[in-house]
Amino acid sequence: MAKKKEASGDLVIVESPAKAKTIEKYLGEGYTVLSSYGHVRDLPERDLSVDVENGFEPTYIVPDDKKARLSELQKQADKSETVWLATDEDREGEAISWHLKEALKLDPAKVKRITFNEITKKAVLEAIANPREIDVHLVDAQQARRVLDRLVGYELSPILWRKVKPSLSAGRVQSVAVRLIVDREREILGFNSTSAFRVTAVLLVDGKTPSEGRTACALCH
């Protein structure tokens, strides 16, 4: 029977290596702090990797330059009692935590998600005292943005290469902005102008003085 690995403290994973040593010092003995160096999984560069026929499901890979880092994290995670995912609290950070959980095949029971806005001992210890689960809504938001980037880029960029200039790339934001500008310009050019005149008159009725009269205004075309 294979001998069960004994847990060796806790693993804390952050995004930036610059934060790791400081956080490890704040946490003290029993914690190992390592960095993921940002994302550990992404869509392949030269393939659409989005199944548009089945709910736009993305296919992720571990880039070659992240395999060694992921292997190191895997070794430490396997022998850790708890894995604390301490990536940034925005949607990119939330997605990185989710990708780490999936790529490392972590048991949900040993995963805890924490965030902090400053690298101070007080903030780090408060985060450890108040863990939460991964926010799937933020993860979905990041994935939707990434998928949209890929779909727009792969569909529109080749058109730019043919019609405008090679090597140009289309994006989910500037492409829509250009469309809005073009549509507005077409509305301006297609507008049919007509002349209009405003006439104002002071009318005297039954001998009343001008100050007592009525003022009438009409718009004539």
**pLDDT tens-digit profile of 126-184?**
999 999 999 999 999 999 999 998 888 888 888 888 888 887 777 777 777 888 999 99
**pLDDT tens-digit profile of 24-80?**
999 999 999 999 999 999 999 888 999 999 999 999 999 999 999 999 999 999 999
Q: Give the range of the structural domain holding residue 86, as residue numbers without chain letter.
A: 10-139
Q: Is residue 132 part of a domain?
A: yes
Q: Is residue 172 part of a domain?
A: no
**pLDDT tens-digit profile of 174-196?**
777 888 999 999 999 999 888 88
Which residue has better confidence, 215 or 99? 99
- Domains held by the chain: number: 1
Q: Is residue 201 part of a domain?
A: no
CA–CA gap between residue 28 and residue 79 (Å, rounded): 18
CA–CA gap between residue 88 and residue 38 (Å, rounded): 10
Q: Is residue 78 part of a domain?
A: yes
Model confidence at 221: pLDDT above 70: no
CATH number at residue 105: 3.40.50.140
Q: Is residue 24 part of a domain?
A: yes
